[in-house]
Amino acid sequence: MKLTTVIFDMDGLLIDSEPSWQEAGAGVLQEFGVTLTDAQYHSTTGLRTPEWIDYWFTYFKLDKQHAAAAIAKVEQRALEIIQQKGEPMPGVQYILQFFREQQFRIGLASSSPMRLINMVVDKLNIRSYLDAITSAEKLPFGKPHPQVYMDCALLLAASPGECICFEDSFNGMIAAKAARMKCVIVPAPAIQHESRWEAADLKLSSLEHFGKQQLDLLQ
């Protein structure tokens, strides 16, 4: 089936926000006497904040009566830090313009709350490129469940077989593949060597390295 549609993740792919999420999440967990290693943090990237908090509260046996407040605090801190410090990842304008020139429908599907998505879209000045935006915020399940990608494809009037997804996290990659879509993975430099990315259809070190040749390979 001919590829006609591209759907992008947001955090860590279009905007360098993972350090901000890590700072916000780690800061809140430290209030409970818990310190995450970088490896622990990276193992849960791509999850929604409620699932992220639930995972680590369960892992460290923390009292879950504090979970709701912790979720709200992480999301608010992350929004503030990203708004202040967040920078576009290399190649964002290039890749969006590339797919516009290919006459692809373009979507964004993120685990983040919609208010944060809207802030980032406006901060990066990319709203004019996007034909659809979906958030997993209020879905029954977030990534690695494929629903947020399936919902975005539906809004774009595309079947899964027509879609390429760009992701940076393992949970996001699993969501894209579970949706039966092609997946291009752009992992963080520190974890690019890991064998788990072999489940993707293509691995890149930057959005800047995707072009007509790579698109033809995926067709």
Residue pair 181/160 in contact (Cβ under 8 Å)? The answer is: yes
- Nearest residue to 145 (alpha-carbon basis) of 107, 171, 169: 171
Q: Is 11 a catalytic residue?
A: yes
Token reading at 216: 């033809």
Q: Which residue has the tokens 């310190």?
A: 35
- Nearest residue to 138 (alpha-carbon basis) of 165, 169, 171, 114: 114
In the set 11, 16, 168, 201, the catalytic residue is: 11
* Cα-Cα-Cα-Cα dihedral sign, residues 201, 202, 208, 210: negative
Catalytic site positions: 9, 11
